[in-house]
Amino acid sequence: MMKELPLIIIDGVDYIYPNGTAALKNISLTIHKGEMIAIMGKNGAGKTTLIRTLNGLIRPTAGDIFINYENINMKSIAELSQRVGLIFQNPSHQLFANSVEEEIKFSLKNLYQDNEELQLKTDYVLKSFNLEKYRERSPLNLSGGESKKLAIASIMCRDPEVLVFDEPTLGQDANEIESFIKLIDKEKKKEKTVIIITHNVEFAFEFIPRTILMAEGQIIADGPTLNILSSNFLTERSSLVLPQTRQLSLALSKAGFQELTNITSRHEITEYLMKILENKITSIKEE
């Protein structure tokens, strides 16, 4: 069976800021359609600079980026925004319309020239993201969670094939993170490619299959999240900490229990601990 060709190819990309700071240094990687990837590393590692090259907000100083084997250096930001949707960490950086409804309409206007179609699609998006009650409200007057939801809706309504999120769980409570996970699951079923910048090791460890670690403008690791975020060496080099489930697994191993090398979720480790407790209770009763 022939291996599927990559959707995104980044080939030898450098980026140097006008002040001479080298933000990206010879970045090369491939991403396939339908992949879900975390990009992690400390502040200043080059993560945000890298994702901004994908939709033309930043043009590489050297190297090339291809999407579906087309060199995006030849594409305009407007063209690329239809293919790569970037949701910023701070919603205020991308929300500017006078109302929530106008924000969605502006995002859709190039896709729906007919006013009736545009209105129908806008209504559908507002309903899908549970934003109908805020239709006439200024985006500046929304809560942090609602403004982030609007920012996501304003990009996803264009149905780009690549979705890029910058710190989507930052400042979100448990319910909001759960809603985001459900949203991403729906996009995965559509075979969308999802790239997420995050410092949230628990979130990445449990939900994201592949992780790319960056440091000082370079990729220092790229592979299965389970392997990368289980490594003390790699997490320390990236100024991250081991996920709590991994820390607990190591503690249990030191206490004489079997090491839990494949457990990534809180649910799985809770089930394991319950089994240990049940076995212990059974053993005491038999004595």
Closest CA to 39 of 28, 30, 51, 25: 51
Burial of 251 (0-12, 13-18, 19+ CB in 10 A): exposed
pLDDT at residue 2 tops 50? no
Question: Is residue 193 one of the residues assigned to a domain?
Answer: no
Whether residue 194 has pLDDT greater than 90: yes
Separation CA 246–CA 231 (nearest Å):
10
Is 187 a residue whose pLDDT tops 80? yes
Residue 249 amino acid letter: S
Phi, psi of 248, rounded to the nearest 5 degrees: -65, -40
- Does residue 15 belong to any structural domain of this protein? yes
When pLDDT is cut at 50, 70 and 90, the band that residue 258 belongs to is: low
pLDDT at 264: 67
CA-angle at 186, arms to 184 and 187, nearest 5°: 65
Question: In a 10 Å sphere around its CB, with 0-12 CB exposed, 13-18 middle and 19+ buried, how is residue 96 labelled?
Answer: exposed
Per-residue DSSP letter, 49: H
User: Which domain covers residue 248, as residue numbers?
Assistant: 243-287
In a shared domain, residues 234 and 247: no
In a domain, 95, yes or no: no
**Count: domains in the chain:** 2
Rounded Cα–Cα distance for residues 220 and 237 (Å): 9
Tell me the average pLDDT across 3-11: 87
116-138 per-position pLDDT tens digit: 999 999 999 999 999 999 999 99
Strands 62-67 and 70-71: antiparallel
247 and 236: one domain?
Answer: no
CATH code for the domain of 59: 3.40.50.300
Give the residue among 23, 86, 7 at the shortest CA–CA distance from 51: 86
Whose structure tokens read 């129908």? 120
Residue 73 lies inside a defined structural domain of this protein: yes
User: What confidence score (pLDDT) does residue 89 get?
Assistant: 87
Co-location of 230 and 276 in the same domain: no
* Count of C-beta atoms within a 10 Å radius of residue 225: 23
Taking only the tens place, the pLDDT of each residue in 231-246 is: 989 998 888 988 887 8
**63: exposed, middle or buried (Cβ count in 10 Å: 0-12, 13-18, 19+):** middle
Q: Is 249 part of a structural domain of the chain?
A: yes
